[in-house]
């Protein structure tokens, strides 16, 4: 299949035509990748089981892993959700459009092919003009997982999306880099007390402030994850992962940089190409290895924004081993560390007490 990649920064007239064509592809059951504020999504008509099946084929994704339905207005939520609790209304007022996915009991209009056979549906209203316009013009909710091949880091640019999807889908809309860079928070509202199934930009603290009580899926606990099966089916797969094995080094910054230097030197002595994930503050601490900075330690926003791009660049550079610094896991840091731990397959070395 020939994938059409289009830049959305063109003249207005040309842009109108692009959205018309993209919406037509969605309505006809085809696939269009589009930007959101979190990561690029791989979109299909959420109400069409055959279209959803094409998403699984294009990504190489197991079909028990449900998709998020992206909507542009609240009427579309009424269309797919059987019951909308008060908590959801409070959260919609505060955070939609935005990086918060909520799980509801589904209506029968949503096919099992979209929800992996579950009787619930995940819904989100993305905070990106291109995504909202595409959904509006298509006139249907758009099911969209991250637009990566299954197992690879999520795409945060149209370039990443093309790396994985060129030749597999009809169209890629290029809206530039995604603002946030990691996937939305997922909150299950079908339980009596809402449960976070995936941490994201909307933090536990932000949700508690509005709802009072919120639980966190035990499978997300860095200490206990082994003993629990994640409630979001997708969270059980190896994820966000670069090709090379990755090790996180946790502790005081000085001890961490020293340990990474030591591990890098040992790997290089054995002839392995090493990649190091550092920060602006520690960039100069590493005399060997290919170093990429996530930005300043003071800005978790920049760390999240750069993470997947750096993981992908190590694939291109054919690095054979990756060593990475870690971050505090409070507030937005818990989402960043969740992705880093997954990318590393939970391989972590502690060099001093946890901060």
Locate the DSSP E strands across the chain. Answer: 4-7, 32-34, 41-45, 68-70, 100-105, 120-124, 142-143, 171-174, 185-188, 195-198, 215-216, 246-250, 274-278, 290-293, 321-324, 348-350
What angle, rounded to 10 degrees, do the helices at 333-343 and 300-316 form?
20
Least gap, CB of 165 to Mg ion (angstroms): 13
Residue 184 touching Mg ion (CB under 5 A): no
Least gap, CB of 115 to ligand TXA (angstroms): 5
β-partners of residue 69 are: 123, 143
Among 150, 184, 306, 334, binds ligand TXA (CB under 6 A): 184
Q: Is the dihedral of CA 224, 222, 353, 261 positive or negative?
A: positive
Q: What is the total count of residues that contact ligand TXA (CB under 6 A)?
A: 28
Nearest Cα residue to 195 out of 230, 159, 160: 230
Q: What is the total count of residues that contact Mg ion (CB under 5 A)?
A: 1
Least gap, CB of 6 to Mg ion (angstroms): 23
Residue 232 touching ligand TXA (CB under 6 A): yes
3-state SS record for 251-311 = CCHHHHHHHHHHHHHHHHHCCCCEEEEECCCCHHHCCCCEEEECCCCCCHHHHHHHHHHHH
Residue 98 touching ligand TXA (CB under 6 A): no
DSSP reduced 3-state for 346: coil
Residue 66 touching ligand TXA (CB under 6 A): yes
Residue 190 touching Mg ion (CB under 5 A): no
Q: Is the CB of residue 98 less than 8 Å from the CB of residue 7?
A: no
Among 164, 183, 309, 325, binds ligand TXA (CB under 6 A): 183
Residue 48 touching Mg ion (CB under 5 A): no
Among 135, 195, 197, 206, binds ligand TXA (CB under 6 A): 197
Among 97, 234, 251, 289, binds ligand TXA (CB under 6 A): 234
**Site residues (CB under 6 A) for ligand TXA, limited to 14-53:** 36, 38-39, 41
Least gap, CB of 221 to ligand TXA (angstroms): 17
Residue 101 touching ligand TXA (CB under 6 A): yes
Nearer to ligand TXA by C-beta: 117 or 139? 117
Residue 337 touching ligand TXA (CB under 6 A): no
User: In 10 A of CB 135, how many CB atoms?
Assistant: 26
DSSP reduced 3-state for 20: helix
β-partners of residue 248 are: 324, 348
**Site residues (CB under 6 A) for ligand TXA, limited to 111-130:** 115, 118, 120-122, 124, 126
Residue 279 touching Mg ion (CB under 5 A): no
Among 87, 144, 278, 300, binds ligand TXA (CB under 6 A): 144
What angle, rounded to 10 degrees, do the helices at 158-165 and 300-316 form?
40
Nearest Cα residue to 178 out of 207, 201, 155, 210: 155
Residue 67 touching ligand TXA (CB under 6 A): yes
Least gap, CB of 124 to ligand TXA (angstroms): 6
DSSP reduced 3-state for 111: coil
β-partners of residue 323 are: 247, 276
Residue 146 touching Mg ion (CB under 5 A): yes
Which part of the chain contacts ligand TXA (CB under 6 A), choosing from 80-88, 90-98, 144-152, 161-169? 144-152
Q: Is 234 left (phi over 0), alpha (psi -120 to 50) or beta?
A: alpha
Query: Which one of Mg ion, ligand TXA, none interacts with residue 80, CB within 5 to 8 A by kind?
Result: none
Sequence-distant (≥ 6) Cβ neighbours of residue 150 within 8 angstroms: 59, 60, 61, 62, 237
Interaction site with Mg ion (CB under 5 A): 146
Interaction site with ligand TXA (CB under 6 A): 36, 38-39, 41, 65-68, 101, 103, 115, 118, 120-122, 124, 126, 144-146, 183-184, 186, 197, 232-235
């Amino acid at each position: 299949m020939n994938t059409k990649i289009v830049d959305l920064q063109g003249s207005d007239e040309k842009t109108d035509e692009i959205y018309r064509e993209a919406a037509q592809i969605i309505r006809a059951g085809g696939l269009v990748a589009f930007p959101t504020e979190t990561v690029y999504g791989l979109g299909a008509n959420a109400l069409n089981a055959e279209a959803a099946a094409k998403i699984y084929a294009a990504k190489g994704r197991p079909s028990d892993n449900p998709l998020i339905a992206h909507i542009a207005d609240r009427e579309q939520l009424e269309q797919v959700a059987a019951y909308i609790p008060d908590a959801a209304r409070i959260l919609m007022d505060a955070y939609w459009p935005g990086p918060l996915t909520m799980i509801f009991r589904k209506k029968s209009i949503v096919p099992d092919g979209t929800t992996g056979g579950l009787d619930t549906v995940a819904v989100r209203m993305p905070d990106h003009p291109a995504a909202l316009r595409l959904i509006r013009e298509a006139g249907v909710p758009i099911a969209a997982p991250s637009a990566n091949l299954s197992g690879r880091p999520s795409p945060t640019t149209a370039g990443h999306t093309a790396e994985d999807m060129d030749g597999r889908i009809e169209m890629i809309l290029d809206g530039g880099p995604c603002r946030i860079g990691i996937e939305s928070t997922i909150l299950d509202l079908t339980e009596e007390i809402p449960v976070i199934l995936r941490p994201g930009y909307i933090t536990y603290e932000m949700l508690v402030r509005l709802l009072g009580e919120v639980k966190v899926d035990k499978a997300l606990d860095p200490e206990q994850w082994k003993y629990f099966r994640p409630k979001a089916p997708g969270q059980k797969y190896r994820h966000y992962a670069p090709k090379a094995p990755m090790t996180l080094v946790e502790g005081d910054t000085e001890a961490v940089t020293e340990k990474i230097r030591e591990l890098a030197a040992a790997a290089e002595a054995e002839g392995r190409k090493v990649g190091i994930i550092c920060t602006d503050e520690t960039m100069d601490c590493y005399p060997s290895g290919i170093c990429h900075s996530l930005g300043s330690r003071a800005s978790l926003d920049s760390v999240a924004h750069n993470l997947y791009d750096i993981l992908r660049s190590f694939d291109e550079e054919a690095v054979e081993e990756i060593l990475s610094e870690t971050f505090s896991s409070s507030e937005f840091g818990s989402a960043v560390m969740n992705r880093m731990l997954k990318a590393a397959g939970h391989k972590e070395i502690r060099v001093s007490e946890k901060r």
